[in-house]
């Protein structure tokens, strides 16, 4: 079960989400609140997996409240204002729901959380050398060893594989995979790229070559990338 909390200053919106949670078999409602600060003790207990959080609230925005949390559960932001979407995704939000929220979109977002948590849990199981991911309405088995690099396009990621001529297109942003993948094996080199260290053929300050493909290395990620590369230098 996924333990969740609802936070929204609008009683009707709160009740709608409550109804949706009750319809979703793998969700367990741990609490619902009109005031964000009232939810703090429950969040700080560490027992909450998912937070449904309204952005536009009177005393503190959902974004500022989430930033203030020392221990952050997964989050799905809800709001009537689409301009907040970018801020939400920069905070590693699993999804962003625009009000009025339909049950179809709610369920789709929850399925993404469920898939994410399952993959995250599998990451800790050392015997697993693969994972399953949903692409084009099918579950695809992906071996970590087969991944060349990942390429981000806003809410989507292309997983480029050595065994396939075309990439898998996944409805998750690149940050989703950055959190899931082993950072000793996969490293972000650019806002749009994560590469498998095993697959890097050449590396310079401005680019890397992976399977004959040249990819850019940006200033923000260069230091971390070369720190990892140096661990393997002879």
CATH of the domain at 37: 3.40.50.2300
Choose one of 73, 97, 123: the last residue of a domain: 123
Q: How far apart are CA 111 and CA 128, in angstroms?
A: 22
CA pseudo-torsion sign 184, 190, 196, 197: negative
Residue 125 confidence (pLDDT): 47
Residue 90 confidence (pLDDT): 55
Residue 29 confidence (pLDDT): 96
Residues of the chain with pLDDT under 50: 86, 88-89, 125-126
Would you list the DSSP string of 74-117?
A: EEEEEES-GGGHHHHHHTT-SEEEESSPPHHHHHHHHHHHHHHH
Q: How far apart are CA 19 and CA 220, in angstroms?
A: 43
Residues 114 and 147 in one domain: no
Phi, psi values for residue 123, rounded to 5°: -60, -30
Element (H or E) spanning 219, and its range? helix 219-230
Choose one of 75, 104, 123: the last residue of a domain: 123
The CATH number of whichever domain residue 219 belongs to comes to 2.40.50.1020
Residues 116 and 134 in one domain: no
- Total number of domains in the chain: 2
Residues 218 and 143 in one domain: yes
- Give the model confidence (pLDDT) of 38-70 as tens digits: 999 999 988 999 999 999 888 888 989 998 998
Domain that holds residue 8: 2-123
Residues 168 and 211 in one domain: yes
Identify the three-state secondary structure at position 162: coil
Helices (H) and strands (E) in the chain, counts: 7, 15
Residue 196 confidence (pLDDT): 95
Residues 71 and 52 in one domain: yes
Residue 126 confidence (pLDDT): 46
Choose one of 123, 150, 182: the last residue of a domain: 123
Predicted TM-score (pTM) of the model is 0.59
Residues 151 and 64 in one domain: no
């Amino acid at each position: 079960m996924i333990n969740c909390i609802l936070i929204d200053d609008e009683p009707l919106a709160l009740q709608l989400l409550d109804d949706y949670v009750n319809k979703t078999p793998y969700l367990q409602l741990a609490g619902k609140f009109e005031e964000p600060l009232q939810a703090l003790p429950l969040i700080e207990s560490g027992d909450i997996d998912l937070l449904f959080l309204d952005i536009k609230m009177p005393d503190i925005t959902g974004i500022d409240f989430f930033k203030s949390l020392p221990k952050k559960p997964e989050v799905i932001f809800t709001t009537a204002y689409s301009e907040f979407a970018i801020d939400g995704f920069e905070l590693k939000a699993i999804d962003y729901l625009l009000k009025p929220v339909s049950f179809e979109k709610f369920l789709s977002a929850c399925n993404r959380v469920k898939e994410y948590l399952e993959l995250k849990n599998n990451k800790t199981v050392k015997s697993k050398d693969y994972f399953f991911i949903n692409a084009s309405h099918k579950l695809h088995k992906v071996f970590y060893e087969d991944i060349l690099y990942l390429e981000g396009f806003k809410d989507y990621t292309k997983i480029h594989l050595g065994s396939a001529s075309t990439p898998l297109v996944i409805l998750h942003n690149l940050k989703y995979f950055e959190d899931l993948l082993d950072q000793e094996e996969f490293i972000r080199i650019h806002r749009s790229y994560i590469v498998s260290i095993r697959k890097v053929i050449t590396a310079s300050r401005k680019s890397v070559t992976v399977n004959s493909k040249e990819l850019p290395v940006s200033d923000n990620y260069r230091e971390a990338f070369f720190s990892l590369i140096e661990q393997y230098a002879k």
